[in-house]
Amino acid sequence: MRLVMIGSGYVGLVSGACFADFGHEVVCVDKDAAKVAMLRAGRIPIYEPMLDQLVAHNVAAGRLSFTTDLAESVRAADVVFIGVGTPARRGDGHADLSYVHGAAREIARNLADFTVVVTKSTVPVGTGDEVERIIRETNPAADVVVASNPEFLREGAAIEDFKRPDRIVIGTEDARARAVLEEVYRPLFLNRSPILFTRRRTSELIKYAANAFLAMKITFINEIADLCEQVGADVQEVARGIGLDNRIGPKFLHAGPGYGGSCFPKDTLALMKTAQDHGAPLRLVEATVAVNDARKRAMARKVIHAADGDLRGKTVAVLGLTFKPNTDDIRDTPALPIVQALQDAGAEIRVYDPQGMEAAEPLLPDVTFARSAYDAAEGASALVIVTEWDAFRALDLARLRAVMVRAVLVDLRNIYQPDEVERAGFAYASVGRSAPHLAEPMLEAAE
């Protein structure tokens, strides 16, 4: 089928490349001429494992192309996906739908034969109704159906998530649109991926509800971690103990510095605002947002405490700037407020991240960007692990100790065992593990 993806950012580029790999003819449209030129030259503007190879393969096969010409692309399309950004709107936290509405107007002016227009961007309930209104107002003669098809891609694992999804959600009650989208996703029907057809508004809410629930799960285990530190328990064993209950499950129960990224912060905020506007406030989501915001600077206080309460004139090495590993995304990353709070406490900061330093450099003008973890640790009085990159999981502790002024390791992702670090001569602080480390519980043998 002939598919058009409006927007060549994270959602549009990954989705477009994967659809092309299914055998569809895909055109990714973007207003940014520099980005389109970069993609045509084989350079990928975002970091996502294996995406460069997937794009190159499908461009070479003639199934994937990039353009700034929306009009020509839409006229030839069977399906047009809207995959533009929906950032939090300044001032009130609602999702900024200006890009979605703008795309709808441009699409409407260029529709020819029957076309299914699909919102793949994360949008509040009722956005599909407004997109349909805009299209019909702009082009009353258009033969079009507007559907919803939210994405559920994890940065760092997006290609696997697209090709082997937990579920595909499609919001439409139109038989023609359903038949078209069944054909679009036919390869995943063959893989027996669960596909849920529902009403458009329900589909829109499913995405927000899923992200809010996962954000609450992260925030819950972070608060349990704080309690563990006060009562002498181990949050990792608590998480394991509750995660073995299949009603709860083990995922998103990893204590740390709080959630960040392109989805959870803006989506929880947008859902909270939507609920308030409709007179149905979501108190759990409101608490989740508040607790997560406060947690980031609380992690800086943990670092200050580990350094005997005084960082003035001292150097702190920070490992990890992205909100999670295997991405270059620093949007709402916990690392930025942590660095800023440490600077407020008088510390000099040296940072290293395998992928995130280019994006972070304009936002952190007063820090030193290092060439490696060991370079960052040079002359430091404390080393802080903020992002759990694989490159940080097996650091040479003896080498670190040799270049640091004081051997203090603050592990905000709990990727090291306390006894291992302490044997290497470090003072060690982690999250939710104030008690002496215990052996793994006997239940592990049952896995």
18 is catalytic: no
Tokens of 157: 């694992």
356 neighbors 287 (Cβ within 8 angstroms):
no
- Cα separation of 388 and 323, whole Å? 9
Residues 6+ apart with CB under 8 A from 6: 12, 29, 70, 80, 81, 82, 83, 84, 103, 106, 107
| Amino acid, single-letter form, for residue 51 | L
Secondary structure (3-state) at 92: coil
Count of Cβ atoms closer than 10 Å to residue 151 Cβ = 22
- Cα separation of 152 and 258, whole Å? 20
Residues 6+ apart with CB under 8 A from 25: 1, 2, 3, 63
Which bin fits 385, alpha (ψ -120 to 50), beta or left (φ > 0)? beta
- Cα separation of 113 and 115, whole Å? 6
Which bin fits 308, alpha (ψ -120 to 50), beta or left (φ > 0)? left
Residues 6+ apart with CB under 8 A from 181: 79, 116, 118, 147, 149, 170, 172
- Cα separation of 200 and 116, whole Å? 13
35 neighbors 12 (Cβ within 8 angstroms):
no
Classify burial at 194, counting beta carbons within 10 Å of its beta carbon; exposed 0-12, middle 13-18, buried 19 or more. Answer: exposed
Which residue among 18, 28, 228, 263 is the active-site one?
Answer: 263
Classify burial at 156, counting beta carbons within 10 Å of its beta carbon; exposed 0-12, middle 13-18, buried 19 or more. Answer: middle
Please list, residue by residue across 358-386, b when 16 or more beta carbons sit within 10 angstroms of its beta carbon and e when fewer do.
ebbeeebeebebbeebbebbbebbbbbbb
- Does an H or E element contain 338, and which? helix 335-344
User: Catalytic site residues?
Assistant: 263
